[in-house]
Amino acid sequence: MEFIKVNKAYAKHIALIQLNRPKELNALNLQLMGEIRDCLKELDQDDEVRVIIISGDERAFAAGADIKQMAGKSTIDMWKVDQFSTWDQINKTRKPIIAAVSGFALGGGCELAMTCDMIVASETAQFGQPEIKIGVMPGAGGTQRLTKALGKAKAMELVLTGKFISAEEALGYGLINKVVPVEVYLKEAVSLASEIAAMSPIAVQMAKEAVKRSFEVPLEEGLHFERKNFYMLFSSEDQKEGMNAFVEKRKPDFKGK
């Protein structure tokens, strides 16, 4: 991996993917996105890993797709490269992903954070979709996910003016989970990840799948899907362990089986 660093020993059951193009503010070139995709695919298959964190560095989570790589491209070039199939793969990750965001989360960087399941941000974080300033528009979910989180008026303002919002504002809109001082944003992300990692990984993944489904389908269909996953969990050992532990007044020890 050239543009990401992966640490599977960061904390128990937690893998950390750190974007590693600091000089370019972690601009997301095609190789970097491919590395994230491949890495997530591998981590999804690794039973030791239950939660994944994606971070950048203090100055930038990611300042967007790599403008220098895109500048001279034609429509057909872009179509042939088909970069969004990479994003689609990332979006299929079963395990929960937390974005730990400090500094710029712009354009594709904001979209990558929103593709994750939760966002823990430092007070210095800034979110925005500034593509309009370079003559294009969001392409990896910005118009959709931002609108679902912020509502039409504010999303429209951000997408049409390219202005940024602070972490505090993003928190107010429900775009992110938590804002903390920059010194501890990664620690906070790990703490949230550890809380989730203590649960049954099967229940966690099925619950994630059901919550995500709520964005795709009408209520009745979503409820049907939820019910199916709820029933399925009764064939896991973790369900027996969780409920027995409650009855026996002890802490459950979930094995992911």
Report the catalytic residues: 65, 108, 111, 131
Q: Is 65 in the site for ligand HXC (CB under 6 A)?
A: yes
| Least distance (Å) between residue 25 CB and ligand HXC | 4
Helix (H, G, I), strand (E, B) or coil at 255: coil
How far from chain centre, in Å, is Cα 130? Answer: 20
Positions 83 through 112 that interact with ligand HXC (CB under 6 A): 104, 106-108
Q: Is 27 in the site for ligand HXC (CB under 6 A)?
A: yes
Of residues 129, 89, 123, the one with CA closest to residue 111: 129
Counting residues that bind ligand HXC (by CB under 6 A) gives 18
Q: How many whole angstroms separate alpha carbon 11 and alpha carbon 100? A: 15
Binding mask 117-156 for ligand HXC (x = CB under 6 A): -------------xx--x----xx----------------
Shorter beta-carbon distance to ligand HXC: residue 101 or 206: 101
Judge whether 210 and 224 are in contact, CB under 8 Å: no
| Least distance (Å) between residue 217 CB and ligand HXC | 25
Of residues 104, 138, 100, 139, the one with CA closest to residue 116: 100
Judge whether 125 and 170 are in contact, CB under 8 Å: yes
Shorter beta-carbon distance to ligand HXC: residue 61 or 225: 61
Q: How many whole angstroms separate alpha carbon 119 and alpha carbon 55? A: 10
What is the binding site for ligand HXC (CB under 6 A)?
Answer: 24-25, 27, 63-68, 104, 106-108, 130-131, 134, 139-140
